[in-house]
Amino acid sequence: MENKEEQQYLELLRTIMTTGIPEQTRNGICRTIFGHHQRFSLKDGKIPILTTRKISFRVAFYELMFFIRGQTNVRHLHENDIHIWDGNSTREFLNSRQLYHYPVGELGPIYGAQWRRFNTPFTNGSNGGNNNANGGSNGGSNGGIDQLAQVIDQLKDPVKRSSRRIILTAWNPVQLDIMALPPCHMMCQFHVKEGKYLSCALFQRSMDTVLGCPTNIISYSLLTHLLAKHCDLVADEFIHFIGNAHVYDEHCANIGEQLEREPFPFPTISINSKRECIEDYEFSDIEFIEPYVCHPGIKFKMVA
């Protein structure tokens, strides 16, 4: 069975490689296009894990829970042997952002802090930003807003779930300069069709198409599946809008191998437990119904 949805991604890679404009950026030379979108079905438990090279669902799960729990220090990722944020939390990188007062490993008020305690004052990681955020319906600690709790409240309410204002944003201009890395996947909107079917549209300002994009697709698709389970809805679709889509020079040599591969069908999942709080979901709650079948991995260097 042809996987037309993964072909969208492969076509994006081809477009960047053939028409992308070389640009010198803060962390290297990229081939870049501006403005793109792709759509992925989530029906019947489908989860779009790219198959033309092996992608870690486990890494995507634990990074997503890191955000959902409002955590900001990489030690919480290290507990599950996840190291994708290590390059952005070294002493050298933090100093390059003038965050001299942050201990190594601290990322500042990035995604999870904004999702669970939007605009709460953050100085050096001592404000509770590394702990689980159980969150009320509207407010977080120190006056911050628990946006994710607000999203859940609206999705659970048969009247409020038709709102066009169910938004989750990580882009906080007030605190961009105290984040180790300003958010790339910066805002998503949730939409419920026919009072039942949940979709998510993500806007991503900047996308490392080789390393970042596959995990971003899994992450927001899985977030949609989790919210659907948690709010008694049915996951329907993930729509991905991209501003700056780029491929680093370091990645160009190995892309051809991936483009020659024929995609397999996407796997399907079931979330077998409905937890009391959104941050309580565990990796063991997710069962693969149709297995993840993929081509071998391809080595790409992480560019911080």
Q: Does 95 fall in a domain?
A: yes
Give me the CATH number covering residue 243. Answer: 3.30.572.10
Burial zone of 95 (CB within 10 Å; 0-12 exposed, 13-18 middle, 19+ buried)? exposed
Q: Does 303 fall in a domain?
A: no
**Whole-number pLDDT of residue 304:** 66
Query: Does the pLDDT value for residue 211 go beyond 70?
Result: yes
Q: Does 86 fall in a domain?
A: yes
Mean pLDDT of 187-216: 97
Least confident of 104-118, 161-175, 248-262: 248-262
Q: Does 199 fall in a domain?
A: yes
Per the structure, the count of domains in the chain is 1
Mean pLDDT of 55-83: 97
Query: Does the pLDDT value for residue 252 go beyond 90?
Result: no
Mean pLDDT of 170-197: 97
Mean pLDDT of 154-158: 98
Q: Does 300 fall in a domain?
A: no
Q: Does 304 fall in a domain?
A: no
Q: What is the pLDDT of residues 124-149, one digit of tens each?
A: 654 444 444 433 334 444 568 999 99
Residue spans of alpha helices (H) in 157-262: 212-230, 249-259
Pairing outcome for strands 268-271 and 28-41 = unpaired
Q: Does 298 fall in a domain?
A: no
| C-alpha 247: how far from chain center | 18
Residue type, 126: S
d(CA 134, CA 241): 30
Q: What is the pLDDT of residues 94-129, one digit of tens each?
A: 999 999 999 999 999 999 999 999 999 997 654 444
**Whole-number pLDDT of residue 28:** 84
pLDDT band of residue 302 (cuts 50, 70, 90) is: confident
Mean pLDDT of 168-183: 97
Give the catalytic positions in this structure.
184
Mean pLDDT of 208-223: 97
Among residues of the chain, what percentage have pLDDT more than 90? 87
Q: Domain of residue 240: give its range.
A: 4-290
R_g (Cα) of the chain, nearest Å: 19
**Whole-number pLDDT of residue 143:** 66
Residues 6+ apart with CB under 8 A from 294: 49, 50, 51, 52, 53, 54, 55, 264
Average per-residue pLDDT in the chain?
93
| C-alpha 39: how far from chain center | 15
Three-state secondary structure call for residue 282 = coil
Q: Does 299 fall in a domain?
A: no
